[in-house]
């Protein structure tokens, strides 16, 4: 066990909004922070906010944020006590967690064996199967040949998913709808998995056509205590990556919520898990749920859980890593209101959400009741090509779902970003859709309802002309040129004019 008093300094092995978010909680706890950054991120807000900074390499992730040896060396040289990996990069790398511990540092996350077991989707499926948790039909181990893939496909039926056993973020996933496509898609999935995670193991499972994607947030300490913090609805996605998340789900019943929460803590307990983690499920129209995978880290969408439970998940992570007991028990945790998160990404929703680079010419955040912005950029900064397209997370809280939606729309209207296209417009469009407002949506929401033309707008010159014309008309109206006489009778007026002639 580690005594929290030894945490004088934490190295944050990440960048952007999540690095800044971790540093803020650490500062509130009286812990100083060390930022490691790439050459491309030298001017980023998280570097300016940290108590110390150290450049660890070039812009490419492989030369900086994925360089575990350099990160550990920086932590030792600059006298950090612990390393927080955030999400992405090295956050689910069991070898890195083991290296950190071997260097006498504390890894703020689960143990290396837990990451190895639950961070690998096949190992997690095995653990869930042994606990009797429902699983999507598929292989129980990594595919060893095309022949095995064909046999599994024939057994469970088309369509199927080929999925990377390691990693996440929608990478290494391929949908196969035709038997003729299996060989090519298998080869592509293996290649993508190898490039993204350094592990080419893939497996195959049944593709459930229109499920809801619901995940349960869990926390566990090193004393064997585990709690769940209810669910997040994450069904609005593109390229298997989430865009809008909310808590609680407007479709789960109290009974299904309780059952899924128990399954989540049972799975975590089976791996001796401690720290923050998320158990992901697919849920059908009958509220039948199937274990999907576990994410052994903090999630991008954790703020919605914080807003409806009142807990700071980063502070809980730090306390757990320091050997403290959880600050709450299950009976202490209640849902308060409703929260929705929109990921603001540097992507063009009119071009299939194509990632963009460029300069933030204007960047002004929204404010007001119930609004939270977790971001990592400032006006004038460049969006580099090397990293994920996420700029910020806009989160709205309300006493109920309707208020949360209205606050989100208001905040989107106030959020000013120019210089690059973003997902802001898509977010407002989604909030106003009947399917979203009624909670009747699934993972095919974009496929079913979204057309790029919905966000089409006139070119800047046309907009300027329209605006000037509007001002001119208003001026003329104020002068009275377009006013009708009160109680005017046009027919009698014409008649009177003819009579005067």
Q: What pLDDT is attached to residue 489?
A: 41
Q: What pLDDT is attached to residue 4?
A: 47
Does the structure show a pLDDT above 90 at 480? no
Percent of residues, the chain, with pLDDT higher than 90: 82
483 is known as an active-site residue: no
Q: Could you tell me the pLDDT band of residue 494, with boundaries at 50, 70 and 90?
A: very low
Q: What pLDDT is attached to residue 475?
A: 65
Does the structure show a pLDDT above 50 at 123? yes
Does the structure show a pLDDT above 60 at 5? no
Tell me the C-alpha distance between 476 and 435, whole Å: 43
Show the domains of the chain with their CATH numbers. 4-108 (3.40.50.20), 137-206 (3.30.1490.20), 209-336 (3.30.470.20), 343-440 (3.30.470.20), 460-501 (no CATH)
Q: Pick the residue with more confidence: 499 or 351?
A: 351
Tell me the C-alpha distance between 74 and 93, whole Å: 18
User: pTM of the entire structure?
Assistant: 0.86
Task: Write the CA distances from 257 to 162, 192, 232, 253, 337, integer angstroms.
Answer: 29, 35, 11, 6, 16
Q: What pLDDT is attached to residue 138?
A: 93
Q: What pLDDT is attached to residue 491?
A: 41
Tell me the C-alpha distance between 75 and 82, whole Å: 8
Residue reference for tokens 């939606």: 405
Q: What pLDDT is attached to residue 240?
A: 86
How confident is the model over 66-71, as a mean pLDDT?
98
Strand 202-206, strand 160-164: pairing = antiparallel
Q: Pick the residue with more confidence: 15 or 485?
A: 15
Tell me the C-alpha distance between 58 and 69, whole Å: 15
Q: What pLDDT is attached to residue 432?
A: 97
Does the structure show a pLDDT above 90 at 463? no
pLDDT in tens, 33-66: 999 999 999 999 999 999 999 999 999 999 999 9
Q: What pLDDT is attached to residue 459?
A: 52
Q: What pLDDT is attached to residue 470?
A: 58
Average pLDDT for the chain: 91
| H helix or E strand, kind and range, residue 359 | strand 358-359
Buried b (16+ CB within 10 A) or exposed e, 269-289: ebbebbbbbbbbbbbeeebeb
Per-residue tokens: 211: 């499920």
Q: What pLDDT is attached to residue 119?
A: 83
Does the structure show a pLDDT above 60 at 490? no
Does the structure show a pLDDT above 90 at 496? no
Q: Could you tell me the pLDDT band of residue 462, with boundaries at 50, 70 and 90?
A: low
Does the structure show a pLDDT above 90 at 498? no
Does the structure show a pLDDT above 60 at 464? no
Percent of residues, the chain, with pLDDT higher than 70: 89
Per the omega criterion (within 30 degrees of 0), is the bond before 187 cis?
no
Q: Could you tell me the pLDDT band of residue 396, with boundaries at 50, 70 and 90?
A: very high
Tell me the C-alpha distance between 247 and 230, whole Å: 8
Q: What pLDDT is attached to residue 196?
A: 79
Q: List, in sequence order, every residue forming a beta bridge with 342; answer none if it has no partner.
A: 244, 394
Does the structure show a pLDDT above 80 at 471? no
Q: What pLDDT is attached to residue 450?
A: 96
Does the structure show a pLDDT above 50 at 237? yes
Q: Residue 414: is it exposed, middle or buried by C-beta count within 10 angstroms (0-12/13-18/19+)?
A: middle
- What values do phi and psi take at 248, rounded to 5? -80, 175
The residue annotated as part of the active site, out of 21, 232, 297, 319, is 297
Does the structure show a pLDDT above 80 at 486? no
Q: Could you tell me the pLDDT band of residue 467, with boundaries at 50, 70 and 90?
A: low
pLDDT in tens, 311-349: 999 999 999 999 999 999 999 999 999 999 999 999 999
pLDDT in tens, 253-310: 999 999 999 999 999 999 999 999 999 999 998 999 999 999 999 999 999 999 999 9
Does the structure show a pLDDT above 60 at 485? no
pLDDT in tens, 182-229: 999 999 999 998 887 888 999 999 998 889 999 999 999 999 999 999
């Amino acid at each position: 066990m580690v005594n929290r008093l030894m945490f004088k300094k934490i190295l944050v092995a990440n960048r952007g909004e999540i690095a800044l978010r971790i540093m803020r909680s650490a500062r509130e706890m009286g812990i100083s922070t060390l930022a490691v950054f790439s050459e491309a991120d030298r001017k980023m807000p998280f570097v300016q906010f940290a108590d110390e900074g150290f450049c660890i390499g070039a812009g490419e992730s492989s030369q900086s944020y994925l360089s575990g040896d350099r990160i550990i060396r920086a932590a030792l040289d600059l006298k950090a006590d612990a390393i927080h990996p955030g999400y992405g990069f090295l956050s689910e790398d069991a070898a890195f967690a083991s290296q950190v511990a071997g260097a006498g540092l504390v890894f703020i996350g689960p143990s290396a064996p837990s990451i190895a077991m639950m961070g690998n989707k096949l190992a997690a499926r095995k653990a869930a199967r042994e606990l009797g948790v429902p699983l999507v039909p598929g292989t129980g181990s990594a595919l060893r040949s095309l022949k095995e893939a064909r046999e599994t496909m024939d057994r469970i039926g088309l369509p199927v998913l080929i999925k990377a056993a390691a990693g996440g973020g929608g990478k290494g996933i391929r949908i196969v709808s035709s038997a003729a496509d299996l060989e090519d898609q298998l080869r592509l999935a293996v290649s993508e998995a190898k490039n993204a995670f350094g592990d080419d193991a893939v497996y195959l499972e049944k593709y459930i056509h229109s499920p809801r994607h619901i995940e349960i947030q869990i926390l566990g300490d090193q004393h064997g205590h585990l709690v769940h913090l209810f669910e997040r609805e994450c069904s609005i996605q593109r390229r298997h990556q989430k865009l809008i998340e909310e808590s609680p789900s407007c479709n789960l019943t109290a009974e299904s919520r309780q059952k899924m929460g128990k399954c989540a803590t049972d799975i975590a307990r089976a791996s001796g898990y401690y720290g923050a983690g998320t158990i992901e499920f697919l849920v059908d129209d009958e509220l039948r749920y199937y274990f999907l995978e576990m994410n052994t880290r903090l999630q991008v969408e954790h703020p919605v859980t914080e807003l409806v439970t009142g807990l700071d998940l980063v502070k809980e992570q730090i306390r757990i890593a320091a050997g403290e007991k959880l600050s709450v028990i299950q009976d202490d945790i209640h849902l308060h209101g409703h929260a929705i998160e929109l990921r603001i990404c540097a992507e063009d929703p009119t071009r299939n959400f194509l990632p963009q680079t460029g300069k933030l010419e204007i960047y002004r955040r929204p404010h007001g009741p119930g609004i939270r912005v977790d971001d990592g950029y400032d006006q004038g900064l460049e969006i580099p090509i090397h990293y994920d397209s996420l700029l910020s997370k806009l989160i709205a809280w309300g006493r109920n779902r309707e208020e949360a939606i209205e606050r989100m729309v208001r905040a989107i209207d106030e959020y000013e970003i120019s210089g690059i296209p973003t997902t802001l417009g898509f977010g407002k469009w989604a909030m106003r859709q009947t399917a979203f407002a009624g909670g009747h949506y699934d993972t095919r929401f974009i496929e079913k309802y979204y057309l790029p033309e919905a966000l089409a707008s006139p070119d800047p010159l046309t907009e300027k002309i329209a605006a000037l014309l509007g001002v001119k008309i208003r001026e003329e109206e104020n002068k009275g040129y377009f006013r009708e006489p009160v109680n005017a009778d046009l027919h009698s007026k014409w008649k009177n004019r003819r009579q005067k002639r």
